[in-house]
Amino acid sequence: MLNRAIYKERNTVTSFLDVQINVSSVFQYFLIYLMLLIPGSCLFAKYFLGDWKYYVLLVFYAALFVSGKKYREGYAPVFALLLLVFVVVTRLITDGGAGLSAWMQFAVCLASVHFAVCCNRRMFLTRFVKLVCVFSVISLVFWLLFLVFPQLADIYPAQTYFTQSIGSDPAWAKDYYGKGLFLYSYLEIHPTRNCGIYTEPGVHQIVLNSALFVMLFWGHKLTGLTGGKYFWRLAVLVFTVLSCQSTAGYIGFLLIVVFFMFSRRVRSKGRYAAKAKRALAMLLCLAVIVLLLEYQVNGAESILNKQIVEKLFAGTDGVSLMEGSGQYRVGTILLSVRSVIEHPLGVGYDRFIGLTNRAETGFVAASVMSFAAVYGVIPWIVMLAMVFVPVIRNESRTVALLFMLLFLNTTLAQTDLLYPALMMVPVYLEATRPRGKFVRGGAPCKHRSPY
């Protein structure tokens, strides 16, 4: 009893209002927030420049690894070591180069989710969803304010920073700026889209769809969510995804919804799944109504027309991927395939970037394909196996297929490869899997259903 009291006293702080804050929970929230910042946040992109941030973070994570047994889960460290081997081998056998900075970014992305999960495996999913929902509410409020009252962006009391310049001729180029780093980032390049704390809405949607995946497919593992709380958090995530106006985000969102609605495994969970499906159906109907009303008001400038009709159909008789940024993504994919065919052992970063510059693809997105071109076929297969196998052997075929499609949808649309919000799925499954057992569908969970 005495030891328990000492432990409790050591891990809580009492404020003036006699409110107890659990130190370990605050630390896990900090680790999750750090995980959400890496990569793609405005804070990291604009102020933490160079490789020094990776050194600092790796030293910090190494200290955590040494400090306690709970952090010594093997999946992420083994994956990081394999990626290091790929970088070293590619540097030795190609003249294109593959520096340690590329590996450090991979390692930090894996480490950020590894330590966030292992800090408290049982509460990670609940706290991840809570934190994402809090930032979603903040982003919705700011997004609506700046959408309805654009002049408020000028008096937004936040640090202003340069984001990018558009135009090849310096005399005619236009510079764009942003404001805000920690809670919400307003970007002049995306004035009507919800970017959250990220450099573009395409990165924001990854976090949102990952939280939506957890709520719909792992909702029985979340604690402290009553029916009302569950519904409102689901609503917040759905409408924040819509506010991002990201085509890749909409595709990922529809994949999650379709798989959830028609998955036998989820349907077998009885009362929880039935209520969740009714809530989601209600939210989808409301979302469609909102989109149609917005289309009636804004017409050609509406979300429906700009992000779906123009990007996917482009005024043709069929689906088109060659409009806007889609043409650059397709260009990178085709160039990567050609490079793999000609150089199956990889060409290195420098040479691949040179190829994209000559082909004028802009080296945009398609990170999963450019990884194959840079490192070669064998490292590419091993990398995909490390990402997919934990999900395949611990989850149902339906959920595993959904995750693979989400991963491919994201990495074909983005420049970075290992986003923590996506890597959370295999890392969490490996960290919570009973040792020595492969349990399809996941280990039995003692948490109560949200309903």
Per-residue pLDDT of the chain (451 residues; tens, 9 = 90+): 445 544 444 444 444 333 345 888 999 999 999 999 988 899 988 877 778 888 999 999 999 999 888 898 889 999 999 999 999 898 888 876 667 888 999 999 999 999 999 999 999 999 999 999 999 999 999 999 998 898 998 888 888 888 888 766 666 778 889 999 899 999 999 998 999 999 999 999 999 999 999 999 998 888 877 778 888 999 999 999 999 989 899 999 999 999 998 876 554 444 566 777 777 888 888 888 877 887 777 767 666 666 666 655 554 444 444 455 556 677 788 888 888 999 899 888 888 887 777 655 555 668 899 999 999 999 999 999 999 999 999 999 999 999 999 999 999 988 889 999 999 999 999 999 876 554 454 444 444 433 3
- pTM equals 0.85
* Structural domain contains residue 451: no
* 418 within domain boundaries: yes
Domain of residue 62 covers: 24-150+191-432
Look at the chain and report how many structural domains it folds into.
1
Domain annotation covers residue 167: no
The answer to the question of residue 442 being in a domain is no
Q: Report the alpha-carbon angle 322-323-325, nearest 5.
A: 95
Residue type at 10? R
* Cα(139)–Cα(413) distance, integer angstroms: 22
**CB neighbour list of residue 114: distance below 8 Å, 6 or more residues apart:** 61, 71, 73, 75, 76, 77, 427, 431
CA atoms of 389 and 235, how far apart (whole Å): 32
- Name, in order, each residue with C-beta under 8 angstroms of 355's C-beta and a sequence gap of 6 or more: 335, 339, 347
Q: Are 127 and 211 in contact (CB under 8 A)?
A: no
Is residue 5, in this structure, part of any structural domain at all? no
Cα separation of 65 and 88, whole Å? 24
CA 79/CA 386 separation, integer angstroms: 7
Q: Let me know if residue 85 belongs to a domain.
A: yes
